[in-house]
Every structure is written in C-alpha cells, then in structure tokens.
C-alpha cells in the first residue's frame, strides 16, 4: 500500500507537468489562428481597395483594369503572408461585371453561411466532409467608418496547422457531433467515430484523457497521456529484491533508499519551481535505467517542450507587435506609382495648372516618405516635415478646418527618432477630436525636458483643441499602453508608438496622454538627446 501511494505521487507530478505542456500547445495553436485572422488587415485597412470593391465599374474593360490595379497585388501579398492559407475569395455585395472564380466573386445567398452575414465579427467554421477535415475563416468587410457592409472575405486554412502545434502522439479534435479528427505520431490523419476513442482515466495503467476547449474554434481538443509501459514493469522488478534486502541487509537497504528518496525529493523540488512566468529548470542528467531515472528523463523531456513552447509563445507575441506596425504601412505599392504622379504633375504644370501641380507634389512627397517600409530610424526634422505634408493634404480636403503650428526651441538637426511616431498622433487627434462642422488646431512644441528627468532628454508635446477624452476612456487607453494591448477603436497606431518607444529607449520613455478640462488632449513624448536619439 505504501509503495502504491509512493508511485501515485510520482504519477500525479508527471501528470501536472504534462498538463502544463498541453496547455502551452493550445495557447500556441490559438496564436497561430490569430495570425491567420490578421491576413484580413490587408483588405480592411486599405481604403482604396474598399472603395473599388464597393463601387463596381459598368465597363468590363475598366473593371479588368481596376482589378489589376487595385486588387490583384494586395490579394497576392495577403495570400502569401501566411503559410497555412491555401485559398482566399473576396465576395462583394456590389455586383462586378468582371469576376475571378475563387478570387473575386459576387456575393450570393449560397456564398457563405447565413450566420456569417448576421455578424460583424469574423468566425471560424470547421467541418468534416468526405472523410476530410476543412477549416475556414470568414471575415465580414465594412467601409473604414463601419457604416456600410461591403462583402465577406473567405480564407481556407490547411488543417496541418493542428499537427504542427501538438507533440503528443495522438490528438483528437471534436469537429461535430458525429466524428473526430485523429493525428498519429507519423503525422498521418484520418476521421474516426467517437466510439473508437480510448477510455477515460485508467489509474492501473497510469493513463488519462486531457481535454481543453478551443478559444476560437467551436470544439474540444482531447489528448491521451500514458506513462511508458516498461515503467510499471521496472517497479515490480525492483520492489521484491528491495524487500529481501530490507530483511537481510538493513543498512545497505537504508543507504540505497536514502539515495533514491534524495533524487525523488530533488525532482519534486524542481517541479515546484515551474510556473507560467519563468523558464522551467532541468533536473540532473542521469544515465540509469531504473524507475527514478525513467521519471527524470520523462520530466526533462516535458521541461524541454515547455521551454520551447514558452519561447514560441513569446516570439509569436513579438511578431504580433511587428504585424501591427507593418499594418500601418499596408498600402497598394505599384512600382509605377511615383512616376505616374510625377507625370501627372508635369502635365498640370505644362498646362499652367499650378494648384493641381502643387497638390500632386505634396501628395508625392507624402507617399514617398510614408512608404519607406524598411526604415526603422529617421531624423526628427523629417518627421516634422511629414506631418506638414499630411496637414497640407487635409487642408485640400477640408479647407481651413485643420491647422498646424510647430515651435522648436533648440537645435534638433542631428536628433533621430523611430520612424513614423508623429503622424499617427496627428491622425488620431483629427479622427477622434474633429467633427464635420468644426475645425481643429494642433500645436507641436519641442524643447529640452525639465530637471525632473534623470537624463538630458528632448520633450515633444503635441496639443489639440478637439474633443477631450473622458476619465474612463483615458484610463482604459493608458492601461492599453501599459499592457501593450491593441483595441478596435483606431488606437493601434498610438499603442504601436508607445511600444516602439519603450523597446528602443526603455520604460522611462513611454508616451503620456492628458486630457483638458473642457476640450483638447495633450500627447507627450521624450527622446534622449545623447547619441542623437539613437538607442
């Protein structure tokens, strides 16, 4: 009885480690599905493409031209951005005279499931047909203001995403009420009936079934964890000789048990050090094949898997942050864009249309700077010029309603900063602080920071007279800054600026937001003056 309890304790500790490993695999699987969902950003954040999809051309020739100009390049980039995406189809509500089967089609009553059309959020659909598992993600697409429904983006996903995330030799996924998906150790798959699932916990064989609800898919993952078959045989082979030695050689037996228990206690202490925040430690290396050695090897193998999965989860989080930054630059980038703008500008100038020529020159300069995808750092003076171009473009669209003043109180000619950290703040102020009937003014003041800073820093204060942010919204936005969370209300750019400032210079350089008593908001950024602002 004592020995049975002794090995049950070891099994419970082994079970605990295996459960943590499986939970980490589920988290990694959910992150991969989130990465697939981010493919939709290529479409939902592209105003020109959304306008093309919502306003079809009556001429087939013009429709083909606009398809190649506005849609084809974005579609190819989006499809190749994730290895698990096998096919993509954009179903448009507007009826286009030109369609590409399987790529761009008109939306009909049978194009997508009914529940997709009744939701504004994306949804996953998992189905089993002809003994094959299919995974599909549907994302309703709206105008940039979310006022009008445009269509539905359908993304077909390779089921290999399931096999690539789990290390257990057998993983079952309930796809519906009739069948399940089964993964073998040799990476092959098949569909089996629920009655063929292994039985639940069998304590005599030290095995059990562990189940976890999927965060995104409508189903349950189940895996079977079983100790090595020779483990119990080793227990029986050691137990009888140990009892004999206890009767004949008590001192030798005591010394042997002390050594074994020391290893067990040490292993138990190591298991106790595992938590969700720190990498799991490895136990001592062992060359023995006894039951304790087998358990130590199993523990070290599970520890290795936990550390690997924790690294993958951390790396996936960093990639998510990078994808948000690159989403800011997601634009149609045909190679002939700059040349075309310049040719139009020269034509306007030759025809003595100086106003059109000047507008095209501003637009070309704005786009040339904003589409430098690989640029990580730039001069602060370039960032100031960029927001001037942006204000000039807004002045063309809203004459006299958006004004900008910049005051610099020291030499900043050699100061550098992360790329694109000022324009998103100006854009946010206009988007959330201006209405169609009111004007807004933005002040940018750059000066040396006060003595309260521990280092000689540069202070950039951007103030506007638009609508203020109430206390609850301000606290929520500051919490997102502290936790690095991105919401769906247009603050992705602000969160990304804050994240990059902290990544480059440390937590002392996070962005601060203050709201006025009646109107306006103030955004404050600090840059180190030493080394020209380089980290």
- The number of beta carbons lying within 10 Å of the beta carbon of residue 214 is 17
CA gap 522, 513 in Å, rounded: 6
Q: Find, among 460, 444, 472, 445, the residue nearest to 511 by Cα.
A: 460
Q: Nearest 5 degrees, angle CA 400-CA 404-CA 408?
A: 160
Grade residue 459 by pLDDT with cuts at 50, 70 and 90: very high
pTM value? 0.41
Quick one: tokens of 255? 């010394």
Predicted pLDDT at 287: 61
Grade residue 203 by pLDDT with cuts at 50, 70 and 90: very low
Residue-wise pLDDT for 383-407, tens only, equals: 999 999 999 988 888 888 999 999 9
Grade residue 447 by pLDDT with cuts at 50, 70 and 90: very high
CA gap 524, 443 in Å, rounded: 12
More confident call, 472 vs 451:
472
CB 34 within 8 A of CB 317: no
CA gap 256, 6 in Å, rounded: 16
Predicted pLDDT at 534: 53
Q: Find, among 388, 404, 407, 391, the residue nearest to 445 by Cα.
A: 407
Phi, psi angles (nearest 5°) of residue 204: -70, -30
Quick one: tokens of 220? 């349950």
| pLDDT mean over 159-185 | 67
Predicted pLDDT at 412: 93
Which helix (H) or strand (E) segment holds residue 519: the answer is strand 519-528
Give the rounded percent of residues in the chain with a pLDDT score beyond 70. 67
Predicted pLDDT at 389: 92
Q: Find, among 407, 461, 401, the residue nearest to 430 by Cα.
A: 401
Question: Looking at residue 202, what DSSP letter applies?
Answer: B
Which helix (H) or strand (E) segment holds residue 464: the answer is strand 457-467
Residue-wise pLDDT for 127-151, tens only, equals: 777 667 778 888 888 887 777 888 8
| Residue appearing with tokens 């069948």 | 179
Longest dimension (CA), the chain: 113
Q: What is the dihedral of CA 29, 35, 40, 46, to 10 degrees?
A: 170
CB 220 within 8 A of CB 212: yes
- Among the ranges given (79-83, 250-254, 352-356, 418-422), the one the predictor scored with the smallest mean pLDDT: 250-254
Quick one: tokens of 241? 């000789």
Q: What is the dihedral of CA 31, 33, 36, 38, to 10 degrees?
A: -60
CA gap 426, 430 in Å, rounded: 6
CA gap 466, 437 in Å, rounded: 12
Task: Tell me the C-alpha to C-alpha distance, in Å, between residue 314 and each of 19, 28, 91, 297, 307.
Answer: 19, 10, 35, 26, 11
Q: Which residues of 460-491 are buried (b: 16+ CB within 10 A; e: fewer)?
A: bbbbbbbbbbeeeeeebbeebbeeeebeeeeb
pLDDT at 158 > cutoff 60 = yes
Predicted pLDDT at 204: 46
Task: Tell me the C-alpha to C-alpha distance, in Å, between residue 400 and each of 280, 392, 403, 492.
Answer: 61, 10, 7, 28
CA gap 368, 337 in Å, rounded: 10
More confident call, 463 vs 53:
463
Parallel, antiparallel, or unpaired: how do β-strands 85-92 and 440-448 relate? unpaired
Residue-wise pLDDT for 273-295, tens only, equals: 665 445 555 555 666 666 667 77
pLDDT at 466 > cutoff 60 = yes
- Among the ranges given (47-61, 241-255, 445-459, 514-528), the one the predictor scored with the smallest mean pLDDT: 241-255
Length of the chain: 535
CA gap 295, 284 in Å, rounded: 12
CA gap 526, 115 in Å, rounded: 48
Q: What average pLDDT does the structure give for the chain?
A: 75
CA gap 294, 274 in Å, rounded: 20
């Amino acid at each position: 009885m004592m020995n049975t309890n002794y090995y049950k304790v070891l099994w419970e500790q082994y079970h605990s480690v295996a459960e943590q490993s499986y939970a980490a695999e589920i988290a990694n699987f959910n992150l991969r599905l989130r990465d697939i969902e981010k493919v939709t950003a290529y479409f939902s954040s592209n105003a020109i493409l959304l306008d093309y999809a919502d306003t079809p051309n009556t001429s087939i020739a013009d429709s083909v031209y606009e398809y190649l100009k506005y849609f084809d390049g974005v579609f190819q980039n989006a499809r190749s951005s994730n290895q698990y995406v096998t096919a993509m189809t954009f179903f448009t509500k507007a009826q286009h005279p030109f369609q590409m089967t399987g790529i761009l089609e008109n939306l009909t009553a049978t194009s997508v499931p009914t529940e997709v059309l009744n939701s504004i959020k994306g949804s996953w659909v998992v189905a089993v047909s002809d003994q094959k598992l299919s995974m599909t993600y549907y994302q309703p697409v709206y105008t940039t203001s979310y006022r009008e429904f445009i269509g539905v983006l359908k993304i077909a996903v390779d089921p290999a995403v399931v096999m690539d995330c789990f290390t257990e030799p057998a993983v079952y996924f309930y796809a519906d009420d009739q069948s399940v998906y089964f993964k073998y150790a040799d990476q092959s798959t098949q569909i089996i009936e629920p009655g063929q699932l292994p039985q639940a916990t069998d304590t005599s064989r030290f095995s059990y079934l562990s189940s976890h609800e999927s965060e995104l898919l409508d189903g349950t993952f189940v895996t079977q964890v079983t100790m090595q078959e020779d483990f119990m045989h080793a227990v029986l082979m050691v137990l009888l000789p140990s009892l004999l030695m206890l009767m004949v050689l008590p001192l030798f037996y005591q010394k042997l048990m002390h050594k074994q228990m020391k290893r067990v206690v040490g292993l138990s202490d190591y298991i106790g050090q595992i938590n969700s925040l720190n990498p799991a430690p490895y136990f001592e290396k062992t060359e023995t094949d006894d039951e304790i050695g087998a358990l130590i090897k199993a523990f070290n193998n599970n520890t290795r898997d936990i550390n690997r999965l924790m690294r993958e989860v951390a790396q996936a989080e960093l990639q998510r942050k990078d994808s948000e930054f690159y989403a800011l630059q997601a634009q149609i980038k045909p190679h002939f864009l700059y040349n075309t703008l310049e040719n139009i500008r020269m034509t306007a100038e030759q025809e003595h249309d100086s106003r059109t020529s000047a507008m095209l020159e501003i637009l070309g300069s704005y786009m040339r700077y904003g589409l430098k995808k690989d640029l990580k750092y730039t001069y602060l003076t370039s960032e100031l010029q960029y927001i001037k171009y942006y204000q000039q473009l807004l002045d063309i669209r809203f004459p006299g309603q958006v004004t900008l003043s910049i005051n610099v109180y020291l030499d900043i000619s050699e100061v550098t900063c992360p790329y694109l950290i000022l324009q998103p703040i100006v854009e946010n102020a206009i988007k959330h602080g201006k209405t169609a009937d009111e004007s807004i003014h933005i002040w940018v003041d750059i000066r040396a920071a006060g003595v309260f800073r521990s280092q000689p820093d540069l202070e950039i204060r951007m103030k506007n007279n638009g609508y203020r942010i109430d206390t609850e919204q301000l606290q929520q936005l500051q919490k997102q800054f502290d936790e690095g969370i991105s919401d769906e209300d247009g603050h992705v750019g602000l969160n990304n600026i804050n994240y990059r400032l902290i990544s480059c210079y440390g937590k002392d350089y996070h962005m601060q937001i203050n709201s006025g008593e009646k109107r306006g908001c103030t955004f404050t950024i600090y840059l180190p003056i030493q080394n020209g602002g380089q980290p």
